[in-house]
Amino acid sequence: EAGIADVDPQIAGLLDAELGRQHAGLEMIASENFVPKAVLQAQGSVLTNKYAEGYPGRRYYGGCEFVDQVEELAIHRAMDLFGSEYANVQPHSGAQANAAVYQALAKPGDTILGLALDHGGHLTHGTRMNFSGRYYHAETYTVNPQTFLIDPDLVRQRALETHPTVIIGGWSAYPRVEDFKALREVADEVGAKLWVDMAHFAGLVAAGLHPSPVPYAQVVSSTAHKTLGGPRSGFILARKEYAKALNSAVFPGQQGGPLMHVIAAKAVAFKLAAGSDFKDRMARTLEGARIIADRLNAPDLQAQGIRVLTGGTDVHLVMVDLRDSEMTGKDAEDLLASIGITVNRNTVPFDPRPANVSSGLRIGTAALATRGFGAAEYEQVADIIAQGLIAGRGADVDALKARVDSLVQDFPLYQGLDQVS
């Protein structure tokens, strides 16, 4: 049977081009990663053909004997990996997992309390343009204006003012670890449920290198594709008593047929995340972020008004604070793109610039750790970024790009995988 190169050379060409792009640059978007070949194989498998509405043993379609086993494996691996009493592996994405959590824990119009988007929260944590801010009464907490840390006392103050049904922990752009125990105490005090969205740091939790929200939150949601390094998708963990509400919120509440090929890929990713290689990857991820934070917080950058938010990092990302620099987040993102480093601009708390320009950069280390980078390579990456930001418009783009090129050549990506064309 004809392959994609014959059937659709245009798409095949674009797949090749994207593989080339991924190989040629330094991927430092904090929410991205490179999935292992085994995950690609599961996701590109015949399971894409199967309808399986319902749950294992309780399907609305025949022929589910094998996909039932796949889903059971994924569920049990997720529960074992994170030590939870319940898992739902069907959400198609992080946003859909979150929609199901709302449906299970709150009614439309109820008050929800999450970290403000411009302080590092996610769209689905109550932003006005998202369903979460349209169907629920969304209130926000901010980071502490002195420390830029999530401060349980401030969360408590906002919770006492707003009486939320649900308090949301977790973030998309925050460089530190939250105190889940303290957040749960706040939730208990005001009669709210604590839900933590660990999408960004799930891999670090799986490796035992970040505190787990599972013992404290009634519900934990996540994506599988950020630090965890699995397929693009979501999953939910919870206490047993929420199982029924969450299951029916995912299906039929939010979704139809589960993506069984993606669930198989999630099962593979959970298996890999339980291994020692994964722990080593997560350790290198953290080490790389610390190396970059140290370099970008050094006096030569501070002299130009460039600093690292909170002075460092505990996780896989560094937030660069450009509020006192002439360079905007957009300028810095474009400059790094021109030397082959992909990052994204981001607002920082109390950002004076509009969001589409912003005064921050979010730099993540998970994808490069998957590629094999260790301390020596991160030192080089840190220096390349530092030299670029210091020089700004005057940067020697060709020289910096040459340093990026020589780094990536030592770490080939998906070798032997150019089966596309």
List residues with catalytic annotation. 51, 53, 197, 223, 226, 232
Q: Which of 33, 162, 223, 313 binds ligand PLP (CB under 6 A)?
A: 223
H-helix or E-strand spanning residue 76: helix 65-82
Binding-residue pattern over the window 4 to 33 for ligand PLP, x denoting contact by CB under 6 A? ---------------------------x--
Interface stretch with ligand PLP, choices 87-95, 132-140, 237-245, 358-366 (CB under 6 A): 87-95
**Annotated binding-site residue? 121:** yes
197 is an interface residue for ligand PLP by CB under 6 A: yes
What are the backbone angles phi and psi of residue 109, rounded to the nearest 5°?
Answer: 95, -20
CA atoms of 140 and 160, how far apart (whole Å)? 12
DSSP 329-397: HHHHHHHHHHTTEE-EEE--TT-SS-TTT-SEEEEE-HHHHHHT--HHHHHHHHHHHHHHHHHGGG--H
> Quick one: 270 or 382, whose CB is closer to ligand PLP?
270
The answer to whether the beta carbons of residues 93 and 223 sit under 8 Å apart is yes
User: Minimum distance from CB of 179 to ligand PLP (Å)?
Assistant: 18
H-helix or E-strand spanning residue 111: strand 111-115
199 is an interface residue for ligand PLP by CB under 6 A: yes
95 is an interface residue for ligand PLP by CB under 6 A: yes
**CA 242 from centroid of its chain's CA atoms:** 24
Binding-residue pattern over the window 106 to 145 for ligand PLP, x denoting contact by CB under 6 A? ----------------x-x---------------------
367 is an interface residue for ligand PLP by CB under 6 A: no
Residues whose CB is less than 8 angstroms from the CB of residue 253 and which lie 6 or more positions away in sequence, other chains included: 100, 103, 104
CA atoms of 400 and 421, how far apart (whole Å)? 32
Binding-residue pattern over the window 145 to 184 for ligand PLP, x denoting contact by CB under 6 A? -------------------------x-x------------
Give the total of residues touching ligand PLP (CB under 6 A): 15
CA atoms of 295 and 414, how far apart (whole Å)? 30
Q: Is 108 exposed, middle or buried (0-12, 13-18, 19+ CB in 10 A)?
A: exposed
Q: Would you tell me which residues interact with ligand PLP (CB under 6 A)?
A: 31, 93-95, 98, 122, 124, 170, 172, 197, 199-200, 223, 232, 234
Annotated binding site for (6S)-5,6,7,8-tetrahydrofolate: 117, 121-123
